[in-house]
Amino acid sequence: MNQKTGRNQPCPCGSGKKHKRCCMNSTGKANPDQLHQQLQDCSGRLMPALYSFFRNGSAPDAMSQAWKAFTCDHPLTMDEEQQSEVEELFFPWLFFNWKPEGQKLSVAEQFLSSFAEKTERLSRELILAGCKEGFAYYQVTEVTAGSSIQLKQLATGKKLLVREQVLSMQIASEGILFARLVEIRGELFIFGCAPWILPESHAQELTDLGTSDLQILLTRYFDIRQTVFQQMEKQADEMVDAILQQSPIEETLQAQVPSLEAKATEKNVKADQTTAGLQVWKLECSVPEAYDALKTLAGRNPSDELLLSDASYDSNGVLLSFSIPWLEKQQTLAELIVSNDRLSVRCSPEQRDPVARRIRRRLGKKVSLLGD
């Protein structure tokens, strides 16, 4: 039998506050902003606990078996290049959807069975909801930056409003999310989301799948992902070849930097980003600081002498501008041009959102996307 929580005891919701200052006077529906923050904090505590539980209680090859099942035999490895996919999609799938061989319960269900009494109430609700709900495809219909995302579930046509501060700052008002939505105390919460936003042109084929079978949905996600990456690599190669054929790198930089800066206005930067995959960022740091943060995108052990062979400096030898390729698997993902307080990034339109997220991870508050 559950004991009543005292006024001055920690609130069972897991917020860390005293019960009297949190849920004691709740009428059954928490403040949405407060509940969303509690869910984020709870998820931040729960996922590492599940990871530790899985590593300590599973067979040595369990992780590799799960990864193979997750990627649907696509040739992907769990390395640094897939880090965002591992953290944002694989682990939520692994803990709540995958069942180890010979087991009837998921990892999260086993965890809850073992630590039911020690698990905070909100974590229990999150585990139960995560195990109940699968992943689905959602079309982004409207974004209110820093506040919410309007979605349409492709399988059902149902429209949903999701409170989401961080993701709403990172995505455009179009595209398709592969995500799991759970409802906790009347609040929708994104509990696992693929880091790559799929092109809206795939909406009809994903709608026509007509299934909730997770392995079929995962297989289609990786098929589309591979197609988009191949198209992006081809476009990047063509772009680099065109630049190299037109003129030497130094002359190309001199011709491009002024034109890119001219486009970086509040009036037209959004149109350029949408049509050409161009992003123009305002730097809140020095050019040398930007170079130090970005140079490893050109390779694991980049040569400063090579990367800065066409850079420009002021009379005191301070770096003013540079251009480097963004390389992945020896392929060009994007072109980066820094000049004074502007960072210009040119990539394929499909890669705008993933590239923007990774730029923010690299530079944090030292950069802001013009037109946001």
Tell me the pLDDT of the chain (372 aa) as tens digits: 345 667 777 776 655 666 666 665 544 455 788 888 899 999 999 999 999 999 998 888 899 999 989 988 777 777 655 677 888 899 999 999 998 888 899 999 999 999 988 899 999 999 999 999 999 999 999 988 888 999 999 999 999 999 888 788 777 678 899 999 999 999 999 999 998 888 899 999 999 998 889 989 999 998 998 888 787 777 766 766 665 565 444 444 444 444 444 444 433 434 334 444 688 888 888 899 999 888 888 876 667 887 888 788 888 888 888 888 888 766 778 888 998 888 988 888 778 888 888 888 888 888 888 765
**H helix or E strand, kind and range, residue 367:** strand 367-369
Rounded distance, CA 258 to CA 234, Å? 27
Give this prediction's pTM. Answer: 0.61
Structure tokens at 78: 């769990």
Rounded distance, CA 206 to CA 136, Å? 10
Q: Classify residue 222 by burial, with Cβ atoms within 10 Å: 0-12, 13-18, 19+.
A: middle
Residue 268 pLDDT: 40
Rounded distance, CA 248 to CA 310, Å? 10
Residue 231 pLDDT: 79
Q: Percent helix, strand and coil across the chain, each rounded to 5?
A: 45, 20, 35
CA distances, 266 to each of 25, 102, 345 (Å)? 46, 58, 16
